[in-house]
Structure 1
Amino acid sequence: MALYFLVFGVCLLIIGAVVLILMTVGTPRYRTEPSDLLTLFDKALESNISETEWNTTIGYPIRHDDYLDSVRRRAARLMETHGRRWQIAQGKPLLNQEGYEELKALRDHLAAHTALQQR
């Protein structure tokens, strides 16, 4: 009977510790910052990006900054209208020429906006 209580006490202690740890640890959150979008746009302009990386960043809403979310939505629209997803595997650009120029303008606008906010 003593062995039963010992095993029960150890199991209760372990389960209690796991529950306590899970309750105190917060949920990890990912915050997209302007530098993340600039890096993503630079990779896309250099044709050095995968479709998965693009969709992971552009497909995730940015709730903490309305301006960044509007830039993200504009980039998603660029992919819808000018995207050439099927050619990424062949090493070709993510966007056609018109989309490339619009993405470059969007990237420059975001960089200027970020520079102004950092002053």
Structure 2
Amino acid sequence: MTIVITLCLSFAIFALIIWGLMHMRTPRFRMERADFQRGLEDVIAGQADENEWRILTGYPMRHDPALEKLRLECLQIEEDEYTGKLPYLFTEAGLRKLRDLRERLLALPLQEESE
């Protein structure tokens, strides 16, 4: 009798775990415009390291096409002007391009909430 109870209880716990895993959402990282702006300003000010730059540019921003376009421009600036040296990760020309990009980010119209 204890074997049957143990098996039933084990099956119920296993089924509960499987059900829970099936209904969990995959975690998503979603960078908003304000986060992108702060990260960009940190890079321009020389307060960001390479990891922060990778976080800023490493994730596609499908939820905001305008922000995705700016992210891709950042990657192009990185290709041309990145030094990787602290405190400033970019050449002076790269920092100038990032400042221009930040100004364009600030000029973007407010984003409509899609979710």
Shared fold per TM-score greater than 0.5: yes
In structure 2, the residue corresponding to 1:49 is in which secondary structure?
A: coil
Give 1:46 shift: 1.2
Question: Which stretches in structure 1 are left out of the alignment for 5+ residues?
Answer: none
Q: Write the deviation string for residues 12-63 of structure 1: whole angstroms up to 9, x where unpaired.
A: 1111111111122211222221112101101101111121121122021111
1:84 is matched with 83
In structure 2, the residue corresponding to 1:62 is in which secondary structure?
A: coil
2:15 is matched with 16
RMSD of aligned Cα (Å): 1.3
Residue 101 of structure 2 corresponds to residue 106 of structure 1? yes
Alignment partners' CA distance in 1, 2:88 and 2:29: 28
1:67 is matched with 66
2:27 is matched with 28
Residue 88 of structure 2 corresponds to residue 93 of structure 1? yes
Alignment partners' CA distance in 2, 1:67 and 1:27: 25
- The one-letter code matched in structure 1 to 2:83 is R
Identity %: 26
Alignment partners' CA distance in 1, 2:56 and 2:14: 37
By percentage of residues, which structure has more helix? 1
Task: With the length of structure 1 as denominator, give the TM-score of the two structures.
Answer: 0.85
1:6 is matched with 5
**Paired residue total:** 111
- The one-letter code matched in structure 2 to 1:67 is A
Q: Write the deviation string for residues 59-85 of structure 1: whole angstroms up to 9, x where unpaired.
A: 211112221111000011111111111
Q: Which runs of 4+ in 1 moved over 3 A?
A: none
40-49 or 50-59: bigger deviation? 50-59
